[in-house]
Amino acid sequence: MASKGRPFRTVSFEGFEILVGKGDAQNDRLTFEVAEPEDFWLHVVNFPGSHVVVRNPDQLAALPPAVLMHAARLAAWHSKARGSRGKVEVHLCRAADVSQPPDFPPGKVRLRRWQSLKVYPLEPPDEA
């Protein structure tokens, strides 16, 4: 998971590359410069946290459930919701559905359409 000098951490899971932003400005770079329009994008709802991008070179219509859950848990873990006792809501959309109006601060975005899922913010094994 070493990604020194990059605006994100890289995680491999079941053959998918998952990218996790490291801060507000880095989240912007990851979302708007690194992510491709068909990549999947995740973020915890109502808490500051990392933008998570799952690469989608095969342009799949949906992620396999285990990959989706792993990415959502990464989003929950790399957020201020990490200490929550219950499940945390995570938004999922395509990177193409994420925008940043000019008056928004770094890291804050607007979603055109999204789905929600709830996960426990569990520490991923590769970071334990």
Which class for 89: exposed (0-12), middle (13-18), buried (19 or more C-beta within 10 A)? middle
Q: Provide the residue type at 16 as one letter.
A: F
pLDDT tens-digit map of 41-72: 999 999 999 999 999 999 999 999 999 999 99
**Tokens 């520490």 sit on residue:** 123
Q: Quickly count: other Cβ atoms within 10 Å of residue 102's Cβ.
A: 4
Q: Provide the residue type at 107 as one letter.
A: G
User: Cα separations (Å) of 81 from 1, 6, 47, 73?
Assistant: 22, 24, 6, 11
β-strands 16-21, 98-99: how paired?
A: unpaired
Q: What one-character DSSP code corresponds to residue 121?
A: -
User: Cα separations (Å) of 73 from 69, 101, 106?
Assistant: 6, 27, 23
Work out the average pLDDT over 73-88.
93
pLDDT tens-digit map of 3-48: 456 779 999 999 999 999 999 999 999 999 999 999 999 999 999 9
